[in-house]
Amino acid sequence: MHRTLQPELLDSLAPDDPAAIHNRRDLHLTNRIMGNHRWLARVLPDLLRPGELVLELGAGTGELGLRLAQTKVPVDGLDLWPRPETWPSARAWHRVDLRQFPAYADYAAVMGNLIFHQFSDEDLASLGTALRRHARIIIACEPSRRRLSQVLFRTFGPLFGANQISLHDAHVSIAAGFRGDELPRALGLSSDAWNCHCTTTALGAYRMIALRR
């Protein structure tokens, strides 16, 4: 199953579109089932050094950043969507395309949850060039690319109330997901400079922890 990219329907909707609101509910449930937020909240705090800041790529509704804020992790958000009303006033929200963000130098740690798979290998290579200059930690949760996950979501998604946007975008996202060391290779994280650990879970999550040597 080769990695393929197709447009996600959510990207064509306004944040206040009812279908987009329903999709956010579906994403919340998907993250709970996959355990993405729990894993990041468990792993990331122990990797940080005092004073280091975290940037969340594709921060969306801010749900993950708010969860990490409860563990005293300083997280700023980056997304094309507006700043969430609940986002902490003390934390920055960068409304910009991550490919054009000029201030990666401010962040020792960069994390992404279900965001890296949305970009081509060419875009990931360019992003990796920017991240490698400054980041000490790059951590990600993405879809594991496997047909079984597509079948399971298509079968059980409707039982949990997933709408057509979610069913389509889940299928597309899984097809654009990663296997093995594909993500660190796409970001140009060479083994001589980075210690990269990639795993997959039975529930379809692909997880990467990359630490600068």
Confidence (pLDDT) at 11:
87
Residue 205's SS3 state is strand
Rounded Cα gap, residues 25 and 47, in angstroms:
30
* Nearest alpha-carbon partner for 23 in 206, 145, 169: 169
**Domain architecture of the chain: domains with CATH:** 9-212 (3.40.50.150)
> Using an 8 Å Cβ cutoff, are 134 and 163 in contact?
no
> How confident is the prediction along the chain (213 residues), in pLDDT tens digits per residue?
899 999 999 988 988 999 999 999 999 999 999 999 999 999 999 999 999 999 999 999 999 999 999 888 999 999 999 999 999 999 999 999 999 999 999 999 999 999 999 999 999 999 999 999 999 999 999 999 999 999 999 999 999 999 999 999 999 999 999 999 999 999 999 999 999 999 999 999 999 999 999
Confidence (pLDDT) at 1:
82
